Amino acid sequence: MAESVVYADLRFAKVPVGRSSPCPAPDAAPCEDEAESPYENVQPGKAPAGQDAQGVQPATGPWYQRRSVPAGLLAACVLLLATLLTLGLCYWQVSRRLQDASRAHAAEHGRLSQHVQLQEQSLEQAREEQEQARLEREQTRLELARMQAELQRAWLEGNGSRWELGQRDAELERVAGVLGTLREELRDVQGKLNASESTVSSLRACVHTECCPAGWVLYRGKCLFVSSTSKTWWDSKSDCEKRSALLLVQEPWERWELPVRTRGSRGHRVG
């Protein structure tokens, strides 16, 4: 160092902001603040001869003003370099994080795209199944409507048939009642007719005693022919038909009441 500095206690003068030092010039008398300053202005020593030969000019102004500028600049450069390094490190970290995030985002996007594609396929298949189910449901509804129409028609036909059957049953009951009444009337008429025939036969027997052919016997208004020979039922029936008569069934009359011939064999037929 070319200069020697001797200093004691440091003291700083308080100068209001925006105001200059009260000492106008260095050649003037020291002011109050400068008188109290711990710094002592020491004249620099003479430089070596080599430096004088090179024509180095002595520096003007206080020494601390000459040293503060390079130190501040160096500090600013160091601070700027540290800031740049910090920013570069931050940028590298952020860039790396962004790259990692971008790769993760791309992977997630691919996975989500595949998942969305699968979901779309599933959704399309579900739509197709839903459409198929809707068509089947529509077909089932139409079939059900057709069956309901057929059932309604069958029910109406059944009601009509039941109504007709009821009408026919009522008609049959009415006809049966009429037939019953007619049967009763017919029985009455038949009874009256039988009574009339009996009366007429009795009267005819009393009036016409010689109306039967020869060999025939009048009995209760009827002409009877009693055979003297024994024959089978079929032969007796055939003989009666030849005589234009009917074979007599003996149930209405008792055997002892019938007139029989005393001659001949033991068997007889009545015509």
Domain ranges within the chain, ordered by starting residue? 1-60, 210-271
CA separation for the pair 260, 230 (Å, rounded): 13
Q: What is the pLDDT of residue 50?
A: 44
Burial of 271 (0-12, 13-18, 19+ CB in 10 A): buried
Which of 252, 196, 191 shows the shortest CA–CA distance to 183?
A: 191
Query: How do the residues of the chain divide into helix, strand and coil, expressed in percent and rounded to 5?
Result: 60, 5, 35
Residue 269 pLDDT > 80, yes or no?
A: no
CA distances for 41 relative to 7, 24, 26, 75, angstroms: 9, 17, 11, 27
Residue 243 pLDDT > 50, yes or no?
A: yes
DSSP string over 201-213 = HHHHHHH-SS-SP
Q: What is the pLDDT of residue 99?
A: 92
CA separation for the pair 64, 77 (Å, rounded): 20
For the stretch 201-232, pLDDT in tens is: 765 654 555 567 777 777 776 778 888 888 88
For the stretch 92-135, pLDDT in tens is: 999 999 999 999 989 998 999 999 999 999 999 999 999 999 99
The CA angle 216-196-250, to the nearest 5 degrees, is 45
